[in-house]
């Protein structure tokens, strides 16, 4: 599935909820479905810098697609990274690099996060794109 289609799916899913309490609960539930990172990658090298809580992200290149795994020690943050992994995992590096993240604004996520969590969200996206750039360089 293409990134844009996944983003539209997420926008539709968030639109089903009346308020942000329900949306937060949905994010927590999404966090429970996150493909967990192998414990060998729960190291300082894989921690997202700029996050209030601990978030670990690992990426592998499988064929011509980047596959992400992640974890967090905070339930809301785990839900946020689960959304990002859903959008960007199993995509080609160039597609990840070129993808916009407007869907985050469309679901109202950034405006409902504390400033430190919003900064963490930006850091997560940046790290995902950095992995994509590294793998794109390998493919060229």
- Cβ–Cβ contacts within 10 Å for residue 41, how many? 18
CA distance 43 to 31: 20
Q: Are 51 and 77 in contact (CB under 8 A)?
A: yes
Catalytic machinery residues: 51
CA distance 63 to 66: 8
């Amino acid at each position: 599935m293409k990134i844009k289609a996944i983003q539209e799916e997420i926008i539709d899913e968030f639109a089903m909820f009346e308020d942000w309490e329900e949306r937060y609960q949905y994010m927590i539930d999404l966090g429970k479905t996150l493909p967990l990172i192998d414990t060998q990658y729960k190291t300082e090298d894989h921690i997202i810098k700029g996050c209030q809580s601990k978030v670990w992200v690992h990426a592998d290149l499988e064929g011509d697609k980047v596959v992400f795994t992640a974890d967090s020690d905070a339930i809301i943050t785990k839900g946020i990274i689960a959304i990002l992994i859903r959008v960007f995992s199993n995509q080609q590096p160039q597609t990840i690099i070129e993808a916009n993240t407007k869907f985050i604004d469309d679901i109202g996520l950034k405006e409902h996060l504390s400033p430190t969590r919003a900064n963490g969200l930006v850091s997560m996206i940046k790290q995902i794109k950095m992995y994509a750039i590294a793998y794109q360089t390998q493919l060229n």
